[in-house]
Amino acid sequence: MASPRIPDELLKNEELIKELEAIAKDAALMNGVLMRTKDSPNSSETVNYAPFTLFPSRVPKVLFNQAIDISTHFNRLIDRVSHSPHFLEEALASTIKVDNFTAKLFNIYRQVQQEPLDMAIMLTLNRSDYMIDHADGKDTLKQIEINTFAASFGGLSTSTPNVHRHILKVANLLEESKLILDNNPAAGLAKGLALAWELYGSKRAVVMFLVEDVQRNIYDHRYVENELWARNIRVIRRQFEDVSKSGFLDKNKRLFVDGQEIAIVYFRNGYMPQNYKSEESWEARLMIERSSAVKCPDISTHLVGTKKVQQELARPGVLETFFPDEPETVAQIRATFAGLYSLDMGEEGDKNVAMALAKPDQYVLKPQREGGGNNIYGDEIRCVLERMKNSTERTAYILMNKIQPKPICNYLCREGDPLKPKMCCSELGAFGVYVRRGTEVLMNECVGHLLRTKSVEHADGGVAAGVAVLDNPLLI
């Protein structure tokens, strides 16, 4: 068949689009692509479809495969960086002087470094996110960030392929419907959790999802939870406050919460300052980190996900220190790096500030934060950097080249928004799972993908932030 595409005449057929919209929303609900509502974020009495694209978005097959194939290299890189105290100390030295949140995390890191565990079990569930850059007239894959903490939508993206297959069939695009890939990150993420649970070695111990108080995205979690229950692994959901009230360590550093032994703490909360509502929340995090429970992520892996570490890894010669005998691995990883620049005090940082002030539309200013909606773009970069260009405050940020994707037309199905054609861009994520005990690597896999799409009018923001929507790749 010819290169798969959604015909322009279909995209302009208002009557058909209206019919497809109703069918698509029903299909999303029937397939469990769900979120709780804004008005009732902690109740399942009222739910709605999670936002999604009406049609799948075209993604070059060679770049999709590149993102999937490189995932296992990033899994290893995360592990090696997380076990390099000297690198983390140097990389974050300037940041922790001005960023209080990162400094608190690093203080916990230093404390647990003083009491290492024998044969510690390492579990990493991550998602490396990319965009397709078209700045030079050709498509290249460029990494936006790597999420080492609470990498979301592995659950809901398991069910979105069925929605798009159905819509394409209804639109009489039968050949295109066959090209939507099966995708089951939830099963892969659960496989890693189950393996770590087995390694922990206590059948009575449970997996604890550490969650936030507002839980609109609970169904994304439930997909993974249910995979664990199917393996007869008990799952509980608790918040920092619960750990503060009832948590304790026994003499062997086993963690107990509400009288239950915890084999794994799977952090779905704790990546932003507002997640720590009191000093007790920080004490609970320290207790967890000191315990023999498997942490996903542990504090060192959390720090690997900071933007400053991402920027330092892009420096010439740094990747070679982590893969000294693997030049091909280094080349494959480095090929995905966008331009990343330090804003540390000194000549290099001054040069990079001037560069951003001269052409702010070409860059993104990034703080050490996750969750979407934190980055700074365009004229706002000039305002922010003018204010802090001579202050150490700037070292809390890094600068990155702005990716220039080629926009495509699609429709975004979102509650309360009229359905209109929009020029959109997409972000592709690859889910990685890595399990190690001592020096033995027991799992290193890419377990699925996530495509999120947003209107080009929005510079920043994910699905949970209410900007991007769920999507599927139509490989070309």
Which of 183, 349, 452, 472 is catalytic? The answer is: 452
| Three-state secondary structure readout of 128-157 | EEEEEECCCCCCEEEEEEEECCCCCCCCHH
320, burial (CB in 10 Å: exposed 0-12, middle 13-18, buried 19+) = middle
Which of 76, 308, 366, 414 is catalytic? The answer is: 366
Judge whether 270 counts as a catalytic residue.
no
Which of 25, 76, 127, 414 is catalytic? The answer is: 127
Q: Quick count: other Cβ atoms within 10 Å of Cβ 232?
A: 8
Can you read off the two tokens belonging to residue 467?
């900007």
For the annotated binding site, the residues are: 127, 145, 147, 307, 366-375, 377, 400-403, 427, 452, 454, 460
Judge whether 259 counts as a catalytic residue.
no
Using CA atoms, how far apart are residues 339 and 354, in angstroms rounded to an integer? 15
Judge whether 280 counts as a catalytic residue.
no
Contact 50, 156 (CB under 8 A): yes
For the annotated binding site for ATP, the residues are: 145, 307, 366-375, 377, 400-403, 427, 452, 454, 460
Which of 57, 152, 184, 342 is catalytic? The answer is: 152
For the annotated binding site for Mg(2+), the residues are: 145, 147, 370
Contact 431, 125 (CB under 8 A): yes
Which of 165, 238, 268, 307 is catalytic? The answer is: 307
Closest CA to 83 of 105, 113, 44: 113
Judge whether 307 counts as a catalytic residue.
yes
Which of 370, 426, 444, 448 is catalytic? The answer is: 370
Using CA atoms, how far apart are residues 36 and 46, in angstroms rounded to an integer? 7
Can you read off the two tokens belonging to residue 208?
């604890």
Which of 71, 126, 147, 472 is catalytic? The answer is: 147
Which of 371, 378, 461, 466 is catalytic? The answer is: 371
For the annotated binding site for substrate, the residues are: 127
| Three-state secondary structure readout of the chain | CCCCCCCHHHHCCHHHHHHHHHHHHHHHHHCCCEEECCCCCCCCCCEEECCEECCCEEECHHHHHHHHHCHHHHHHHHHHHHCCHHHHHHHHCCHHHHCHHHHHHHHHHHHHHCCCCCCCEEEEEEEEEEEEECCCCCCEEEEEEEECCCCCCCCHHHCHHHHHHHHHHHCCCHHHHCCCCCCCHHHHHHHHHHHHHHHHCCCCCEEEEECCCCCCCHHHHHHHHHHHHHCCCCEEEECHHHHHHHCEECCCCCEEECCEEEEEEEECCCCCHHHCCCHHHHHHHHHHHHCCCEEECCHHHHHHCCHHHHHHHCCCCHHHHHCCCCHHHHHHHHCCECCEEECCCCHHHHHHHHHHHHCHHHEEEEECCCCCCCCEEHHHHHHHHHHHCCCHHHHHEEEEECCCCCCEEEEEECCCCCCCEEEEEEEEEEEEEEEEECCEEEEEEEEEEEEEEEECCCCCCCCCCCCCEEECEEEC
Judge whether 127 counts as a catalytic residue.
yes
Residues serving a catalytic function are 127, 145, 147, 152, 307, 366, 370-371, 452
